Amino acid sequence: MKILVIGSGGRDHTIAWKFAQSSRVKKIYVAHGNAGISQTAECVNARTIEEMLAFAARESIDLTFVGPESPLSAGIVDLFEKEGLDIVGPSLAASRLESSKCYAKEIMRDLGIPVADFEIFDDPDKARDYVRSVGYPVVVKADGLAAGKGSLVCDDVAQAEDAVHLLMEKRIFGDSGSKVEIERRLYGRELSFFCFTDGNSVMPMVAAQDYKRARDDDEGKNTGGMGSYSPHPWLTEEMSQTIMDRVVQPLITGFKEKTGIVYKGILYVGLMLVEEQDSITPYVLEINIRQGDPEAQVILPRLETDLVDISEAIVQGRLHEITPKWNPDYQLCLIAVSGRTKGKKGWYKGYPERYKIGVPIHGLDQVDPECLVVHSGTGFGDEGQLITTGGRVLCIVSRGKTLKEAREKAYAEMEKVEFTGMYYRSDIGKE
């Protein structure tokens, strides 16, 4: 088979790596990839969904797998399916569950799926009046896509007012902040829950613990993710079933019944598990329409079932025929980012704020080959040297029989890597 993976980040590198393990795959292309991905697959300079379609048709691609949300929200699945090409991912209509937080929350509230109390605003003055009136801490969320950083968690009214200003008036995420959803801040245990689905059957994946804050001890600004590990430390089979019964299955089934839209592909629900009286309620914080990053980096290495088989079952509507196998060992992902560096006009604060690119990377050839080196923001310089091109640069994924073993391995190997301004959290997996 010839496989096309859409994406250029760490998740997409991991997806391409996973397909490369299949005996059924003879060639993998990635559009448009990065320097690390080019060592696993052939990178294709196709940037628009129309260019991706033209390439897939010209090369007779057997299966396309979409990594990031942007091409899904642009309608790549509809485009490919119209031409009779097999592709894994939700349609343009189904993708609104991520591309509009307001739409998703209203759908879930109508379906009786647990969500925090919320209101929606397109007027910043009315939004400010609301946060002054409610009397409890809130989270202010940009309605549209914001690269995983559009949710501003507030401790008090002043922070909430500032969040409204940043999103709706300063437009730090552009038009994504033209409308906001303001919800009651929940307290509990946060969990990312992932599933494969063909629109009828739902296959849960193993869970991962991720770290969103930029600094140790969950301090600093929200990022796209600073690390992760799997298995999850406290997710029980009983709680997994509760999430399936109260959130995932009602969402897939209810969404189809309410809108007529069949959701196929990967579903990611961000949850807050809240203790209420004698039970725990899984409240949905957000819905994503694709695999997480960096969760994919620790979930997919544990998958022993061929990803081609799962992908075909999703496309053909026969996911119920697949029984996935998962490796029980721990996987830990440690991410190195572009940190604080000095530029010509002062200091770069570093990811998730302004950062420097084009910085040479050294030492990757010294990393133990038993570890998986995943590239997120890398490219090649004028002389062919490996350089940084993004905020999240690369990660090392290690394996161990225990979390401690996997953690020690990842940190030992990361010490071999160096680039100016390199930063990574010191507490990933330190439970």
Distance CA 373, CA 361 (A): 13
> Do 374 and 396 lie in a common domain?
yes
Could you give the angle at which helices 307-316 and 10-20 cross, rounded to 10 degrees? 100
190-238, pLDDT tens digit by residue?
888 999 999 999 999 999 999 989 999 999 988 889 999 999 988 999 9
User: Mean pLDDT across the chain, nearest whole number?
Assistant: 95
> Do 299 and 357 lie in a common domain?
no
In this prediction, residue 276 has a pLDDT band, given cuts at 50, 70 and 90, of confident
> 208-214 — which CB contacts under 8 Å span 24+ positions?
208/232, 208/292, 208/295, 208/298, 208/299, 209/233, 210/292, 210/294, 210/295, 211/425, 211/428, 212/148, 214/337, 214/351, 214/352, 214/425
Distance CA 276, CA 356 (A): 46
Could you give the angle at which helices 101-111 and 249-259 cross, rounded to 10 degrees? 100
Per-residue tokens: 258: 């309410």
In this prediction, residue 318 has a pLDDT band, given cuts at 50, 70 and 90, of very high
> Do 299 and 347 lie in a common domain?
no
> Do 269 and 381 lie in a common domain?
no
Dihedral sign from CA coordinates of 293, 298, 301, 305: negative
Per-residue tokens: 142: 């940009």
pLDDT of residue 345: 80
| Residue 234 falls inside a structural domain | yes
| Residue 51 falls inside a structural domain | yes
> Do 400 and 278 lie in a common domain?
no
320-369, pLDDT tens digit by residue?
999 999 999 999 999 999 999 988 888 999 999 999 999 999 999 999 99
Domain that holds residue 223: 187-321
Q: pTM here?
A: 0.93
CATH number for the domain including 34? Answer: 3.40.50.20
Residue with token string 């060992």: 329
Number of domains within the chain: 4
> Do 352 and 401 lie in a common domain?
yes
Residue 29 and residue 52 in contact, taking contact as beta carbons nearer than 8 Å? no
147-195, pLDDT tens digit by residue?
777 889 999 999 999 999 999 999 999 999 999 999 999 999 988 899 9
CATH number for the domain including 150? Answer: 3.30.1490.20
> Do 162 and 85 lie in a common domain?
no
> Do 212 and 128 lie in a common domain?
no
Q: Which of 270, 286, 321 is the last residue of a domain?
A: 321
